[in-house]
Structure 1
Amino acid sequence: MPTNALRTETDGLGTITLPSDCLYGIHTARAVANFQASGVSLGNFPALLRALAEVKIAAAQTNADLGLLPVDLCSAITQAATEVIDGQHKNAFPIDMIQGGAGTSTNMNMNEVIANLGLRHMGHAPGDYAYLHPNDHVNRSQSTNDVYPTALRIALWREAEALAGHLDQFAARLRGRAETQQHVIKLGRTQLQDAVPMLVSDELGAFASAASQDARALRRAATGLAEVNLGGTAIGTGINAPDGFAEKAIAHLSDLTGLDLVPAQDPICSTSDLGDFVTLSGALRRVAIRLSKTSNDLRLLSSGPRGGLNELNLPAMQAGSSIMPGKVNPVIPELVNQIAYRVIGFDMSVSLAAEAGQLQLNATTPLVAYSLLDALQLLERAVTTLWENCLADMTVNADICLAHVTNSTALATLLVPQIGYQKAAALTQRALVNKTALAEEAIADGYLSPDTLGQSFALALNRPAEEGMFS
């Protein structure tokens, strides 16, 4: 067949010419022309492509079981969809993720690609829809309004579990690093002011705990995605789907995906309501906020190297300035901050989109899909790069950490049980005026000996006392 050969396809709006070997059809071609918004195509999200293809296989198998689809067509659909699941033909999905029509263009893009691939397997040319039709066969007993959200739920569930796994790994690695720093004393700070002593291992352990908590919260939020409205068709009433289709199709889909999917308790509600997506978005916002807080702390603790806290050394990744020689910036935490801000913005988009639904459908679901899928990818990259390009090679300036403690007024709190609040406050003020260490003032006044102070200090840190720590 000549490489410049063409074919024409016709719909209710007219005729469009396509390359003869093009895997998509007229609906996708119109969508490509109509929706040029984000510049990010459906092909950029293989998790959603995979889930859509799995839905098409489950529907075809169910239609064949019910005698509504010839076995050879079911086989052709299954073979074609399996190629998509295997990661082939990504370029055949060019439509923009942000689109009007509640996802109809996404569903039709998949219908057309599967039909044309199936036609090839059957020995027919793409576009010869008399033998295998995108709507009559691939989309039989279905609507975009049950296919698209069902596939989205599957894709998001998998991606959420993947992110939770990355968070668990991140936390485990941080705990391993924390265990190596149990001997390093540092200054705890509240409101950026000296507070009380702590250990570097405690600080790193808190970062790890935040990541573990977020992984658990993410998994809890994703559980609602198991309830799918496949078989509800247009508005949840199941019009044009035979009796038993929903239960059989969802059972097939569970087998295909390995996920414990269940029919929606109220398909009409499930078709129009985006509450489960809002819940997931809130969990992603939580992950973003906590990762950003960790990154903020890393930037503060590594500030300097001479005029800042300088308690941590983050690996030097690149030159930091075009004018200031030798300057190195904490570029990885800064990257994570910006990813977090974008994810938080996505959460606002999801909230507004969910609220914008009208009556029996929400036309803005494509924005929700794009926002959540992109947020999940961005956060996974953030967690990975924060460890691999920053924390894995981070070092601790133990001497500086200890100096910040001994030169601060933070020891005053440890003295309160022995000498009382008022005397401790007076010592604090005198140390500030005299520019001396608080421990020196306490020992000079005879309130405590170096060993007694060391024992109080060790008790507060839940660690063995070190003799002569303040002598």
Structure 2
Amino acid sequence: MDNFRVEKDMLGEKKISNDIYYGINTLRAIENFNISKKSVNFELIEALVLVKKACALANKKLNQLDEKKADAIIEACNRILSGDFLDQFITNSLQGGAGTSTNMNVNEVISNIAIEILGGKKGEYNIVHPIEDVNMSQSTNDVYPTALRIASIGLLRKTSEAFSRLQDSLQDKENEFSHILKLGRTELMDALPIMVGQEFGAFARAISRDRWRLYKVEERLREVNIGGTAIGTGMNASQKYIFLVTDILQNLTGLGLSRSDFPIDTTQNMDVFVEVSGLLKSAAVNLIKMSNDLRLLGSGPKGSIGELIIPPVQTGSSIMAGKVNPVILEMIAQVSMKVIANDTAITLAASSGQLELNAFAPLIADSLLDSLNLLENGVNILNDKCIIDIKVDLEQCRSNLENSTALATALVHYIGYDRASEISRRAILENRTIKDIIESENLIDTALLKKILNPFTLTSPGIPGK
């Protein structure tokens, strides 16, 4: 028995193993874009299959597609969406052709599954044709962007939820540490007293803005150009189909999708994805800032700041015994750097489209979905393996504050700026605390000094002691 079949296209023939469900278009894409081991994101594949199912349902209802063929295509889509045949989607994530290779990969796999459902053999495209039947009333240029929006919304919701969980954990820490006074720093130098809880409160508010922005930007992704076909004019797609397929897609996805009122725009312009990526970049910036702060505050534990105790999750060195590194915080910083790099790629790709189509949609899709996956997973790991178990070294916080010159600022209204500066200089030179010098020289009444140095007074608006 021959283990191969022969498929033809306008460029010639190819022998294809009978074990595989993709066809000649996919095979050519594999040969042409053999640039890495990274295939197309599975969320995008599943969204594409969902779009194909919606199109088959619409074409069936409008009697444009034979009922038996339509049912076989729909069943093929259902099997893929249940998790079968995912190993058949192997086009490289980066490819020329605005995603045509990926669209054809999906068309061919669905077609050959449907052919077998109807009792035929793979490659017998007279039974179910990849383009004439599976791709009926469609183009890569409306299917691919529509699928990318659907996939992005799904991942965006998960990412937003991850940020929501992180926000909750940071707010819990804000409350837990609300009574612990420590040294605040500006430009890495001693500044003013601050509560540990206030530092975590600042983190929580930055993350809350990210969560809200990511939650709201979903609205931008809901407008789809399905039915616009090749350049958004809708040629080869009937008016009834254009309206019906959007309604069906809404029902299948459960998303508030809407038909673009000007698909020519939605087909060629990719600025919506730039906007989403820009908000992911903003979130990444906040995560890097927080990671850097937490690593600094937890540094040491004996030779540096050491005010926070970062949860140990693995040994840190193959040669330095006993060393434990803040690896989770290092991980989220690298995730965030990758998101920023992806944003640059998306920006360049979106700005490089010409006329009625952007040929660089695969780079946009790969980078955006990568960023969403990275942030969802990274933020959840950060929350579960670091933030919720962070502790404070109370003694180190007290020692760092008392041995700094930060308390001198609280005395300015009582002894003047110049005298306070002199006492600060003496404290450093004589290795004494500000409080010790004030008390030993009776510069301020003991009761008043205690009132001035009240932790909650020092970290609230107003003049300490008044």
Give the TM-score category using the shorter length.
Answer: over 0.9
DSSP 3-state at the match of 2:63: coil
Where in structure 1 are there 5+ consecutive unaligned residues? 464-471
Q: 2:118 aligns to what?
A: 122
Instruction: Report the CA distance between 1:85 and its aligned residue.
Output: 1.8
Could you tell me which of 6, 12, 15 is aligned with 2:4?
6
Instruction: Report the CA distance between 1:208 and its aligned residue.
Output: 2.0
Deviation track 1:69-100 (CA, whole Å, cap 9, x = no partner) reads: 12222211111111222222110101111000
Q: 1:24 aligns to what?
A: 22
Question: Is 2:334 aligned against 1:338?
Answer: yes
Q: Which whole-Å CA distance do the structure 1 matches of 2:331 and 2:164 have between them?
A: 21
TM-score normalized by structure 2?
0.94
Deviation track 1:7-29 (CA, whole Å, cap 9, x = no partner) reads: 11111111111121311111111
Q: Relative to structure 2, which stretch is displaced further, 425-434 or 279-288?
A: 425-434
| Structure 1 counterpart of 2:390, one-letter code | M
Q: Relative to structure 2, which stretch is displaced further, 103-112 or 202-211?
A: 202-211
Q: 1:407 aligns to what?
A: 403
DSSP 3-state at the match of 2:406: coil
Instruction: Report the CA distance between 1:177 and its aligned residue.
Output: 2.9
Query: Residue 76 of structure 1 contacts residue 121 of structure 1 at CA under 8 Å; is this kept in 2?
Result: yes
Q: 1:449 aligns to what?
A: 445
Question: Is 2:269 aligned against 1:297?
Answer: no
| Structure 2 counterpart of 1:446, one-letter code | N
Q: 2:132 aligns to what?
A: 136
Q: 1:248 aligns to what?
A: 244
Instruction: Report the CA distance between 1:66 and its aligned residue.
Output: 1.8
Q: How does 1:40-439 map to 2 (within 5 A)?
A: 40-42=38-40, 45-439=41-435
Change over 3 Å in CA distance of 1:411–1:128 after alignment to 2: same
DSSP 3-state at the match of 2:239: coil
Deviation track 1:396-415 (CA, whole Å, cap 9, x = no partner) reads: 10110111111111112322
* Identical counterparts, % of pairs: 42
Q: Which whole-Å CA distance do the structure 1 matches of 2:99 and 2:53 have between them?
A: 19
Instruction: Report the CA distance between 1:445 and its aligned residue.
Output: 4.2
Aligned CA-pair RMSD: 1.7
Query: Residue 46 of structure 1 contacts residue 87 of structure 1 at CA under 8 Å; is this kept in 2?
Result: no
Change over 3 Å in CA distance of 1:49–1:420 after alignment to 2: same
Q: Which whole-Å CA distance do the structure 2 matches of 1:253 and 1:449 have between them?
A: 75
Instruction: Report the CA distance between 1:462 and its aligned residue.
Output: 5.0
Instruction: Report the CA distance between 1:175 and its aligned residue.
Output: 1.8
Query: Residue 145 of structure 1 contacts residue 233 of structure 1 at CA under 8 Å; is this kept in 2?
Result: yes
Query: Residue 165 of structure 2 contacts residue 383 of structure 2 at CA under 8 Å; is this kept in 1?
Result: no
Q: Relative to structure 2, which stretch is displaced further, 219-228 or 8-17?
A: 219-228
Instruction: Report the CA distance between 1:453 and its aligned residue.
Output: 3.1
Change over 3 Å in CA distance of 1:427–1:265 after alignment to 2: farther
Query: Residue 49 of structure 1 contacts residue 85 of structure 1 at CA under 8 Å; is this kept in 2?
Result: no
DSSP 3-state at the match of 1:15: strand
Q: 1:467 aligns to what?
A: none
Instruction: Report the CA distance between 1:149 and its aligned residue.
Output: 0.4
Matched residue pairs, number? 459
| Structure 2 counterpart of 1:105, one-letter code | S
DSSP 3-state at the match of 1:411: helix
Instruction: Report the CA distance between 1:201 and its aligned residue.
Output: 1.4
Deviation track 1:359-400 (CA, whole Å, cap 9, x = no partner) reads: 111101100100011111111121122122222332210110
